[in-house]
Amino acid sequence: MYKVILIDDEPLARQLLKTFLQAHPQLDVVAECADGFEGFKAIQEKAPDLIFLDVQMPRVSGFEMLELLENPPSVIFTTAFDEYALKAFEANAVDYLLKPIGRERFDAAIQKWLQQVAHKAPQQIAPLLENNVYEGYQHRIVVKDNGTIRIIPEQDIFYIEANDDYIKIFTKDGNYLKKSTLSHIEQQLDPQQFVKVHRSYLIPVSQLNRIEPYEKESHIALLHCGAKVMVSKNGMGKLKQLLGW
């Protein structure tokens, strides 16, 4: 018996999935969730083998929830997005079901997953998330803080620092680690508001106080929060272009 969790903010969509799953008695629905907050908690408690996950949900989206999981289960997306918007992760997710979902398409997704399980093919969620293109820029970063989910609005961010396989987000309320790359976060945030001034630093323009020369062609950015971050030659060029210097 395989454990399944349904994560979708639409009750009728979850009901349809449950109806289709009745034809697959080896799959047991152990939880239903209406958003990423509930989904994250249920996955931690139930350790499912497979989740059906909506992309756009209130509070925490499907992608934001996945980014918080260290060992995410297999994922079949259920989404109203046009299939062309999903090409970036189609090869990495088990499958996606475009709403309105048909039974034949649903059964095909289940069979695809069962074949992967039989061949013990691992699912690569990390490339899925790295290649994902969000609809518009994000105005927040979602992190896991001592087992709970914390949403950091962009206006609360002082700066972001690369930290091995993580990023460290410095805010007015403290510092938070998130498993991600600086380049990935840079792609999510508005380039008119956030600038990667160094391979290790991403800063909001609103935090920039002044810039002082450093060694050779590098500089130091002094931020309103009191921090000092390195600015490379390339980063200085980005700032000049953005600020019209």
Q: For residue range 210-243, what is the model confidence (pLDDT) as tens digits?
A: 999 988 888 999 999 999 999 999 999 999 998 8
Specify the pairing of strand 228-231 against strand 219-223.
antiparallel
pLDDT of residue 171: 96
CATH ID of 140-243, from 2.60.40.10, 3.20.20.10, 2.40.50.1020, 3.30.499.10: 2.40.50.1020
Where in the chain is CATH 2.40.50.1020? Answer: 140-243
Give the integer Cα–Cα distance in Å for 111 and 106. 9
Of the ranges 8-17, 25-34, 49-58, 201-210, which one carries the lowest mean pLDDT score? 49-58
Three-state SS for 92-128 is CCCEEEECCCCHHHHHHHHHHHHHHHHCCCCCCHHHH
Q: Helix or strand or coil: residue 41?
A: helix
Q: Over the range 160-179, which residues count as b (16 or more CB within 10 Å of their CB) and which as e?
A: bbbeeeebebbbeeeebebb
Q: Which residues lie closer than 8 Å to 1 by C-beta, 6 or more apart?
A: 26, 27, 28
CA of 200: how far to CAs of 129, 138, 197, 213, in Å? 20, 20, 8, 18
pLDDT of residue 118: 87
| Average pLDDT of the segment spanning 176-185 | 92
Nearest residue to 229 via CA among 142, 138, 157: 157
Does 121 score more than 80 pLDDT? no
Return mean pLDDT, the chain: 88
CATH architecture of 2-131: 3-Layer(aba) Sandwich (3.40)
Most confident of 60-69, 113-122, 166-175: 166-175
pLDDT tens, residue by residue, 26-53 = 999 999 999 999 999 999 999 999 999 9
Give the integer Cα–Cα distance in Å for 32 and 169. 32
Where in the chain is CATH 3.40.50.2300? Answer: 2-131
pLDDT of residue 133: 47
Read off the pLDDT band of 123 (50, 70, 90). Answer: low
